[in-house]
Amino acid sequence: MRRILTVAVVAALLTTTAWVVHGAAAGSARTAGASPPAAANPGPPTDERALERGVRTIKPASLATQLARARLATGKYATSLRAAKADGYQIITQMIPDMGWHFLNPAIAGFDVTKPHILVYERHGRSWQLGALEWVFTETPASPPLPGATYGSFAAACHYTDGTFVFARVQELCAKRSPQTGARFNFWHPDLVTLHVWLWYHNPDGLYSGTNPLVRPFNRG
């Protein structure tokens, strides 16, 4: 049965500032002719006074903190494609040169740094190494989901159950079987904006680069 993948990702607001204000002004009316109040004590510095009033600023998490969270959450997949499949990731592309094999979890929606939509693997024989995490959007997020994020793109395409795919602007153009291998149709998606994060394999072209020259030896793997 055909399944249409709808990828509707809402960029999470990672820079949240919350203010909690506590305290009330209390006092009594001064009677006429009362002596003027004594000079006010300068008191502690402004930041300490703010704390005393119960005012607290929550700073946005740094990129290092976000990446650490992502690494902890995906560590079990680093060298275990089996673990990824057990958690719902399924093949959507075979090896894309200088990038990798892509495995999508269709149950994941929205942006969560601990739950990538796609895991990008490198293969050497029977061994699999996680290289990058990937999120996809139907349009460029209004605010970067990660500090300094840059994006790539992937054109609308028909995907088949063995990871082969064919670019097609509408689903009606998708064949029931893969023209390359005869595998069954799996899903179609529209044009996508992509965000790669090379968290598990160093990329000299940058953390957010779509491709990685260091995985070139695995292009035939």
DSSP string, 83-150: HHHHTT-EEEEEEETTTEEEEE-TT--S--TTS-SEEEEEEETTEEEEEEEEEEESS--SS-SSTT--
Compute the distance between CA of residue 141 and CA of residue 27 in angstroms, rounded to an integer: 50
φ, ψ of residue 74 in degrees (nearest 5) = -110, 5
What are the beta bridge partners of residue 91? 103
Q: 144 lies in a domain?
A: yes
Backbone conformation region of residue 163, classed left if phi is above 0, alpha if psi is from -120 to 50, else beta: left
Q: What is the pLDDT of residues 131-177, one digit of tens each?
A: 999 999 999 999 999 999 999 999 999 999 999 999 999 999 999 99
**Domain tally, the chain:** 1
Q: 94 lies in a domain?
A: yes
Q: 2 lies in a domain?
A: no
Q: 167 lies in a domain?
A: no
What pLDDT score does 59 carry?
Answer: 53
Whether the CB-CB separation of 161 and 155 falls below 8 Å is answered with: no
Q: What is the pTM of this model?
A: 0.74
Q: 168 lies in a domain?
A: no
Q: 28 lies in a domain?
A: no
Q: What is the pLDDT of residues 13-53, one digit of tens each?
A: 333 333 223 333 334 334 344 444 444 444 444 444 443 44
- The closest of 156, 155, 160, 117 to 136, measured between CA atoms, is 117
- The closest of 101, 104, 85, 83 to 93, measured between CA atoms, is 101
Domain assignment of residue 196, given as a range: 63-155+191-218
Compute the distance between CA of residue 108 and CA of residue 128 in angstroms, rounded to an integer: 22
Whether the CB-CB separation of 184 and 161 falls below 8 Å is answered with: yes
Q: 82 lies in a domain?
A: yes
Q: 209 lies in a domain?
A: yes
Q: What is the pLDDT of residues 72-87, one digit of tens each?
A: 999 999 999 999 999 9
